[in-house]
């Protein structure tokens, strides 16, 4: 069993590749998490976790991560991915992920609304938001990725 994470950060990256998997890998590298083993998690941020934008994580580490990605091979198409973390005053937080065939501004606004809805549904007060997003115009094959890695 993994311990409960104590730190988190938000990141995003987009890139092209020779195929879908390489585009995804290159987007991970652009986001600074390409040398980590991501364990996809859902949307709850543990209580007391600290926002740490500069975390040095050893390559190959198993990292619980909430992320969204989109890959396209339609030249000229704009794709975006965004993640957002909603923080409460004294309890857990909520993570939301979004990706689509849209611009970065739309993705960010969608995340803000999703966080508001999630906090309203839980009867919690939203006191702070952290967002990371990226936008990419496809030339051959491209990937847009946004992530919330959690660390110990």
Residue 135 a catalytic site member: no
From residue 142, how far is each of 10, 37, 73, 76, 83 by CA, in Å? Answer: 21, 21, 7, 10, 18
Token digits for 79? 């794709």
Q: Which of 6, 24, 7 is nearest to 15 (CA)?
A: 24
Give exposure, 71-99, as e/b (b: 16+ Cβ within 10 Å). Answer: bbeeeeebbbbbbbbbbbeeeebbbbbbb
Active-site residue identified among 18, 19, 35, 37:
37
Active-site residue identified among 97, 99, 133, 135:
97
Residue 16 a catalytic site member: no
Residue 99 a catalytic site member: no
Residue 37 a catalytic site member: yes
Active-site residue identified among 22, 43, 77, 109:
43
Residues taking part in catalysis: 37, 42-43, 97
């Amino acid at each position: 069993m993994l311990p409960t994470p104590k730190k988190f950060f938000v990141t995003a990256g987009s890139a092209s590749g020779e195929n879908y998997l390489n585009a995804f890998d290159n987007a991970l590298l652009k986001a600074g998490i390409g040398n980590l083993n991501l364990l996809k998690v859902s949307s709850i941020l543990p209580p007391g976790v600290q926002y740490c934008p500069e975390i040095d994580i050893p390559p190959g580490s198993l990292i619980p991560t909430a992320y969204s990605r989109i890959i396209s091979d339609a030249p000229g198409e704009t794709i975006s991915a965004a993640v957002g973390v909603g923080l409460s005053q004294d309890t857990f937080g909520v993570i939301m992920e979004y990706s689509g065939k849209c611009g970065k501004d739309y993705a960010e606004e969608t995340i803000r609304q999703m966080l508001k809805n999630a906090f309203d549904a839980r009867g919690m007060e939203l006191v702070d938001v952290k967002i990371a997003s990226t936008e990419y115009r496809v030339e051959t094959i491209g990937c847009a990725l946004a992530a919330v890695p959690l660390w110990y």
